Amino acid sequence: MSVPETITVFVPRDAAALAVGADKVAAAIEREAKARNRDVHIVRNGSRGMLWLEVLVEVRTDHGRVAYGPVRAADVPSLFEAGFLAGGDHPLCHGLTSEIPFLKNQTRLTFSRCGITDPLSLEDYRHYKGLTGLQKAVAMPPADIVKQVTDSGLRGRGGAGFPTGIKWKTVADATADQKYIVCNADEGDSGTFADRMIMEGDPFVLIEGMAIAGIAVGATKGYVYTRSEYPHAIAIMEEAIAIARREGILGPSVLGSAYAFDMEVRMGAGAYVCGEETSLLNSLEGKRGIVRAKPPLPALQGLFGKPTVVNNVMSLASIPVIMDRGAEFYRDYGVGRSHGTIPIQLAGNLKHGGLYETAFGLTLGELVNEIGGGTVSGRPVKAVQVGGPLGAYFPPALFDTVFDYEAFTAAGGLIGHAGIVVFDDSVDMLKQARFAMEFCAVESCGKCTPCRIGSTRGVETVDKIARGIEPEKNKVLLEDLCNTMKFGSLCALGGFTPYPVMSAMTHFPQDFAPAPVREAAE
């Protein structure tokens, strides 16, 4: 009797898969395999990012990995009947995973391993070119690392788009007994999940990026500040850090070099404003997450008053590939002054929602209608919010806007953390404008008046417009209030809340018409 062949089956452990029953699917596969006397090895990988297909189960075959999805536990017996362990056909089969157009057409640099590997297998990480960037970094003068990052054209992926290399140089040039690397993983924007996905799907790439940053600027300690709403990301990051420490990637001698670097994960406590870098630093220090005035820049006086690099997860996770493949390689992707790739998150009312990493330069319309496949409800798209709760709403008339930093600024918006939330024609834009103000009022740290008071007055003014109380006068007042918030607020919370409010009012004036007209139109 021949020894039965072990077949590798992948069932993601990403929160997006767990939330639709991945653990139950994995258990069902195990149970069924046992009952049928088949030798199956289940790998809990990260997510491929095709979230409409979760739970996306893959089977390793001689031709490559074959995808099945969305799989529910109840589908598992029929998958076995169809011979899925050999890549057999089934109504849920999508053929080779790598050939699915949504995935095939991407340029995955930052997410190159996500969904392919076991996120906690250092062996997998090394096999897929992990740690080569860090190996190069430890053998280089730190100033050359900073130069390479500067030359790559990488700009902060958190929203502001500030050149990462320049930030690093400021910290590197500062003299201090202690410097810090702080990773802003406080991904609170609705419509965004790239940080969560990389932390759950490829945590070592973030660790590697932070270690490189530490070596480049002379920091020996790093913190990942993330959200209490992300328990799975926290657990995987902590496990990965422990492994990295054990394997000499973190600790007193990074990869056997003279550099020391260690890091830990810190959990926020449900305050949206802590995604703002100075508020985040106060929170890390154990204070109220109140925004600090700048200057002093965090690069010079950051965490505990020490020079600190504060970078978003995506920025730091892009560092290893830049170090590995070179600044030129990364810089060659993109358009204008937006270099490299950006992991775009397609969310909301979309047929094909998920993570799409691509070079800058696609249009908003291509992203929504072609890649995202239009609305899942089948109704026409009415508005698209780009960049989270502080991002502008775009009507389909602006779908030719090119996805890069400058084009979005010119169109009165921002790309923020590159989340796109699609709404169909059932959305009431006045309600969305009210929500933006209400959210700002709930989440305001309270330090500056335009944000603290302005947001509450904003809710009241939108309510007056909705009730038809002097609507024309109140629309002028709302616009004036938005200007005050935009130019008078200390940080992006109060400063950018006007984007969704003003864009809703400008592009969808019919929703702000006086109440009798609104009712008549319905």
Partner 1 sequence: MNVRVVAVDEATRIAAIIEDCRHLEGPMLPILHKVQAEFGYIPEGAKQIIAEALNLSRAEVHGVVTFYHDFKDHPAGRHTLKLCRAEACQSMGGDALAERAKAKLGLGWHETAADGSVTLEPVFCLGLCAQAPAAMFDGELYARLDEDCLNDIVAEVRA
In this complex, which beta carbon is closest to partner 1, that of residue 204 or of residue 230?
A: 230
Question: What angle (nearest 5°) sits at the alpha carbon of residue 339, between those of residues 333 and 340?
Answer: 50
Q: Are 138 and 213 in contact (CB under 8 A)?
A: no
Distances in Å between the Cα of 377 and the Cα atoms of 49, 133, 374, 388, 508 are 21, 44, 9, 21, 21
- Cβ burial of 139 (10 Å; 0-12, 13-18, 19+) is exposed
Among 41, 246, 288, 467, binds partner 1 (CB under 8 A): 288
Tokens of 17: 């898969």
Q: Are 111 and 90 in contact (CB under 8 A)?
A: no
Per CB under 8 A, 345 contacts partner 1: yes
Per CB under 8 A, 304 contacts partner 1: yes
Question: Which residue stretch of 94-102, 246-254, 420-428, 453-461 sits at the interface with partner 1 (rule: CB under 8 A)?
Answer: 420-428
H-helix or E-strand spanning residue 429: helix 429-443
Beta-carbon contacts of 476 under 8 Å, excluding residues fewer than 6 positions away, are none
Among 7, 9, 16, 207, binds partner 1 (CB under 8 A): 16
Q: Are 180 and 171 in contact (CB under 8 A)?
A: no
Tokens of 178: 């202690």
- 114: closest CA among 211, 223, 17, 249? 17
Alpha-carbon distance 329 to 29, whole Å?
42
Q: Restricting to residues 379-398, name those near partner 1 by CB under 8 A.
A: 385, 388-389
Instruction: Go through the chain and tell me how many residues it has.
Output: 522
Per CB under 8 A, 115 contacts partner 1: no
In this complex, which beta carbon is closest to partner 1, that of residue 353 or of residue 454?
A: 353
Q: How far is the CB of 355 from partner 1 (least distance, A)?
A: 8
Q: How far is the CB of 371 from partner 1 (least distance, A)?
A: 12
Q: How far is the CB of 163 from partner 1 (least distance, A)?
A: 27
In this complex, which beta carbon is closest to partner 1, that of residue 6 or of residue 105?
A: 105
Among 358, 432, 444, 497, binds partner 1 (CB under 8 A): 432
Q: How far is the CB of 515 from partner 1 (least distance, A)?
A: 20
Per CB under 8 A, 75 contacts partner 1: no
Per CB under 8 A, 196 contacts partner 1: yes
Per CB under 8 A, 271 contacts partner 1: yes
Strand, helix or coil at 43? strand
Question: Which residue stretch of 137-145, 169-177, 263-271, 329-337 sits at the interface with partner 1 (rule: CB under 8 A)?
Answer: 263-271
Per CB under 8 A, 371 contacts partner 1: no
Where does this chain bind partner 1 (CB under 8 A)? 15-16, 18-20, 51-52, 54, 187-193, 196, 221, 228-232, 266-272, 283-290, 304, 345-350, 353-354, 376, 385, 388-389, 419, 421-424, 427, 432, 435, 439, 443, 445
